[in-house]
A and B are shown apart, each in its own frame.
Chain A
Amino acid sequence: MSGGGIKAGRTLAMGQDEAVGGGRQSVEAPFGRALARLGQSRHAIVGLTADLGKYTDILPFRDAFPDRFFNVGMAEQNLVAVAAGLARTGKVPFATTYGVFATRRAYDFVAIALAHSNLNVKIVAGLPGLTTGYGGTHQAIEDLALMRMIPGLTVIDPCDATEIEAATEAIAEHQGPVYMRLMRGSVPVVFEPGYKFEIGKARRLREGSDVGVVATGFMTERALDAAEALQQRGISVGVLHVPTIKPFDAAAVTEFAASVDHIVTAENHVMVGGLASLVVESLFEAGIAKKVTRIGLPDRYIECGAVPTLQAKYGLTTEAVVATITGLELA
């Protein structure tokens, strides 16, 4: 395991082997800590989980507010239904499970019980994409695509600990249903304190003229590191971070695309239906004809294995991003 992601002596269980970040500082359980902090002043916030409290970092909230925490057991349809009912009594439920279960098992409830009624429920979903070695049953590789199809649902894929904390605050403030991907455990810090997260806003993190990488989730970190490495080789790479998948900041993407020769999309997700699709749709609609190269997962389920092995094999590491960009036929 590389970097500051996993601390020595930490017990790994239930696919708990994500190691993101290279040599960066990390923060323990940024989501749960942020939620527990918010719970002090926002009494309407309640927490729920479906037997994955320990593995979705929500226990700091449970420990602070045991009366406002409900564990419904392994029952994700009921998790979402109960959260919907709580929202109808004015509560602001944060419901955690894994992305695979929130989407594949509870989809009708997310669509009808939450989104159709625009209820104020926040689903926080662990193990996005290749952050577990448990294979297709645990890797939420198509969740962004599934969730962005649901009318009125806000969909967020944060990059690091700073953004998770900021996004947790932002979605608590936001009125309406949200699906947010969660990085749990020791989460690297990429952004400086004071980084501003705004739902629906992309952020240009680095200017570059040859290649523009549009990235979401932890792939933004890889893109930034790759851009730095490529600078040494004389390739100028810009990075646009798009933490909100829906509503999508198409204006920022088209503006960014205008400033570079070649677009690369980078997502911890299948290449269909997620960030790459959104970027292409946005460029097409704006009449911008530029070559787009996609970094993301193939259209198939991924095998079991160690996370670093899988991320390297499927092109999600910094090295893989560097290799992809180096291989482009640049003007």
Chain B
Amino acid sequence: MLRNSPPGSADVAALERKATLLRRHMLTMARGQGQGYIGQGLGIADALAALYFHELRYDPHNPAWPDRDRFLLSTGHYSIALWATLAEAGIIPVEELVTYGADNSRLEMSTLDTTPGVEVIGGSLGHGLGQGIGQALGLRLDRSDARVFVELSDGEMQEGSTWEAAMSASHFELDGLVALIDCNGIQADGPVVLNMEPVADKWRAFGWETFEIDGNDMKAVVDALAGARQRNRKPKAIVLRTLPGKGVPRIETSEKSHFFRIDVAQWDGIIAEFHKSMGTRQ
């Protein structure tokens, strides 16, 4: 049973190494299919490392433990990052990662909830936050102190249901609910199609206690999560400013970082570039 670690106890360097490991898994997975939502995955890796290896409480041997903290990936197409994380967390086998996106694999390109550790079907954007609110209300009725973390994205905020949910979370005073808003500046049609700024002000105006940080700065992520532990009758929003493709300069600078499809030979180049940038070895 993993308890969430005490605030201030985070080993930032160790979490950074975990994030690097998650990125390595993701690059291997994307190489296998020659495609994937790798840009988003690399961008959110630090937040997922901080959540699963410091912040969340869960039992890898019993993913359905009723008192677990929930993590809902609302952007189902970020699944590549979730699979890598669930594998490192011991919820699914690491060896299974190579099946990402293959026929009959349960590690889909967009999450379904049939795989252990998945708390929501996240592919249709704008679904996660409302379902997180329902789970938080249910946990409160059960007098559980488990918390609910919902990842959503800047593009996803364009779905009106996001704001229906945002209104109700503060109304219901769900202080065990934490929204992690991945602002990576890209969406399907390219760089942000509809301006969502000022993002943090919007969440504040909807009654959320809001943090805005560099989502690729592990210390900042850990500190924001620590701040979000307060039970002060307000839901928490952490605006993560992330770099899509973080760790691979070629993807970081790509206009096409929403969905990446290249041939296998080039993936080898990308992986080499990643190791060079991270100072790690293949």
Chain A residues within CB distance 8 Å of chain B: 46, 67-68, 70, 72-73, 75, 77-78, 80-91, 93, 108-109, 112-113, 116-117
Contacts and interface: CB of A to CB of B under 8 A. Distances in A.
A64 to B, nearest CB: 15
Given A85-B138, A91-B141, A77 B130 contact: yes
Contacts of B133: 78, 81-82, 85
25 contacts: A67-B141, A77-B130, A77-B161, A81-B131, A81-B134, A82-B130, A82-B131, A82-B133, A82-B134, A85-B131, A85-B135, A85-B136, A86-B134, A86-B135, A86-B137, A88-B119, A89-B66, A89-B138, A89-B142, A108-B124, A112-B121, A112-B124, A113-B127, A116-B112, A117-B113
B113 to A, nearest CB: 6
Interface in B129-179: 129-139, 141-142, 160-161, 164-165, 167-168, 171-172
A72 B168 CA distance: 6
B36 interface: no
B108 to A, nearest CB: 13
Interface residues of B, number: 30
A113 B135 contact: no
B126 interface: yes
Contacts of A87: 134
Contacts of A86: 134-135, 137-138
Given A82-B134, A89-B142, A90-B138, 12 more contacts: A72-B168, A75-B164, A77-B126, A81-B134, A82-B131, A84-B130, A85-B131, A85-B135, A85-B138, A86-B138, A88-B138, A112-B127
A104 to B, nearest CB: 14
A89 B139 contact: yes
A87 B139 CA distance: 11
Contacts of A67: 141
Contacts of B123: 112
A127 to B, nearest CB: 21
Main secondary structure of the interface of B (DSSP, over half): helix
B137 A70 contact: yes
B114 to A, nearest CB: 9
Contacts of B119: 88
B165 A78 contact: yes
Contacts of B124: 108, 112
Contacts of B135: 85-86, 88-89
Contacts of B164: 72-73, 75, 77-78
A77 B137 CA distance: 17
Nearest to B150: A85
Q: Which of A80, A84, A89 has the most CB of B within 10 A?
A: A89
Nearest to B70: A88
A78 B130 CA distance: 5
A81 B161 contact: yes
A2 to B, nearest CB: 40
Given A75-B168, A81-B165, A109 B138 contact: no
Nearest to A108: B124
A199 B123 CA distance: 32
Given A78-B164, A88-B119, A68 B138 contact: no
Contacts of B66: 89-90
Contact of B132 (A73, A85, A91, A109): A85
A150 B165 CA distance: 24
A57 B113 CA distance: 34
B137 A82 contact: yes
Given A72-B168, A112-B121, A81 B141 contact: no
A287 B205 CA distance: 62
A113 B119 CA distance: 11
Interface string B183-203: 000000000000000000000
Q: Which 10 A-B pairs have the closest CB atoms?
A: A85-B134, A81-B130, A89-B138, A75-B164, A78-B164, A82-B134, A85-B131, A77-B161, A85-B135, A86-B134
Contacts of B167: 73, 75, 78
A81 B127 contact: yes
Nearest to B126: A77
Contacts of A82: 130-131, 133-134, 137, 165, 168
A242 to B, nearest CB: 32
A108 B135 CA distance: 19
A299 B151 CA distance: 43
Nearest to A78: B164
Interface in B66-91: 66
A196 to B, nearest CB: 33
A85 B130 contact: yes
Nearest to A84: B131
Nearest to B130: A81
Contacts of A72: 164, 168
Contacts of B139: 89
A304 to B, nearest CB: 28
Interface string B31-45: 000000000000000
A81 B126 CA distance: 10
A86 B130 CA distance: 10
A73 B172 CA distance: 12
A89 B138 CA distance: 6
A151 B11 CA distance: 47
Given A73-B167, A91-B141, A83 B134 contact: yes
B168 A78 contact: yes
